[in-house]
Amino acid sequence: MIRVLCVCLGNICRSPMAEGVLAARAREAGVALEVDSAGTGSWHVGDAPDPRAIAAAAARGIDIAGQHARQVSMVDFERFDLILAMDEGNLASLERLRPVAARAALRLAHPDGQPVPDPYYGGDGGFERVLDMLEAMAESVLREGTGRR
Ligand code: 4NP
């Protein structure tokens, strides 16, 4: 069992989609994986994902409508094996929060280290591009998690 936490800024766009994609692909692959998501910011705590994120994920057969935003906390570094930051800003925030004796590995979500662009204000290919990048993330995490390379 590998426990993965996906983190973005608001936990209403990128990381809820990341959680949904990773959970769906793990289920399909028969890989035992626990996945959650959180935001570095607190503005949207308790909110459902952005309607555009819900719609884009649903178009790929992934239901994220039942998720609720929460803020990342120090205990997450003990609870999870791997924490995936969507961009460098999220990674820097997580590095500041990380306890000295953190258990979780921390890195950028995309396997090539490309930032997953914030789709909240539009542009950059928006939610579709984010989902494509998250598919690559999921494939990479599942390959590592099962020892297949
Ligand atoms: P996310 O997108 O980090 O992908 O969830 C954002 C959502 C909301 C805000 C920023 C980014 N905001 O500033 O409210």
The residue contributing the CA closest to ligand 1 atom 9 is: 10
For residue 15, give the DSSP letter.
H
Ligand 1 geometric centre to CA of 102 (Å): 26
pTM of the full structure? 0.95
pLDDT for residue 148 is more than 90: no
pLDDT in tens, 2-44: 999 999 999 999 999 999 999 999 999 999 999 999 999 999 9
The residue contributing the CA closest to ligand 1 atom 12 is: 10
- C-alpha–C-alpha distance, residues 16 and 24, integer Å: 12
11 CB near ligand 1 (under 6 Å): yes
pLDDT in tens, 87-127: 999 999 999 999 999 999 999 999 999 999 999 998 667 99
For residue 59, give the DSSP letter.
T
Residue 138: closest CA among 62, 48, 52, 24: 24
Catalytically active residues are: 8, 14, 118
